[in-house]
Amino acid sequence: MQTSTVFQSNNLIPFPQFTGERVYMREFTKAAGLPPDLARWQDTVDAMLDGADASGPIFLMVDQAPVKVATTHRRPGLHVDGFWHPALQAHGGGGHSSRPAGPVGGRIHDSGCHRYTPAPTTPAVPDVGRHRGRPSGHFHAGDDKEALILASDVLGCAAYVGRFDGLPVDGGDCAHIDTSGLLRVDMEPGRAWAGHTLTMLHEALPVQRDCLRTVVRLNVRAWCAA
């Protein structure tokens, strides 16, 4: 059995003006801040990381795109994201986007500690900060720790909470996993949502209107939030 958990930040997340910008896994640290060319995203990142003891490398992904009503902005279908390997320039979970954003492949490792507040609509579930699964294919458990933090300005993603059977297949695909016994949590826009890169089940939702949508994702090594 695996456990899927999502935690919600109490902060409101600001987003800069829509320009159609895309950023693919740029490395930075919380202490040093973003590189100068990404300075307009600093307030967003600071709010997403507020209260987090994020001492290790962090990787920023940004996707701004026009999205038509009843379509999804990001990767469709139930899946988990993967552990980022900068040396391989690979995102083992197959990425999160329905549009090519870079090479995929490599390996996925088990993720680290996350202690955002459990989402108010979710039932109490065991903390899985040290959970070890035995994924298949390119998925491998490891000692490295990583959390995934997502934020968007338009509702377009849902996560699932609870215990489930099954393991992700290559690319992080979880379409074969039965979610009927899990609680679906719509990931409210303007908030940050955190979970394990390897075990947080989530999927894109069709947007309810034509919109210009911004998604920010942080892959955070060695992270614990108070």
Domain boundaries, the chain: 2-225
- pLDDT tens-digit profile of 77-99? 898 886 555 554 444 444 444 34
Residues 6+ apart with CB under 8 A from 45: 33, 34, 58, 60, 216, 218
The whole-model pTM stands at 0.75
- pLDDT tens-digit profile of 181-206? 999 999 999 999 998 877 889 999 99
User: CB burial class (10 A; 0-12, 13-18, 19+) of residue 188?
Assistant: middle
CB neighbours (10 Å) of residue 98?
A: 16
Q: How many helices (H) and strands (E) does the chain have?
A: 1, 15
Q: Which two tokens stand for residue 97?
A: 């986007």
Q: Count CA atoms closer than 13 A to 88's CA, side-chain side.
A: 12
pLDDT at 173: 87
List % helix, strand, coil for the chain (3-state, nearest 5).
Answer: 10, 35, 55
How far is it, in rounded angstroms, from Cα 113 to Cα 111?
7
- pLDDT tens-digit profile of 148-165? 899 999 999 999 999 999
Query: What is the length of the chain?
Result: 226
pLDDT of residue 109 exceeding 60, the answer is no
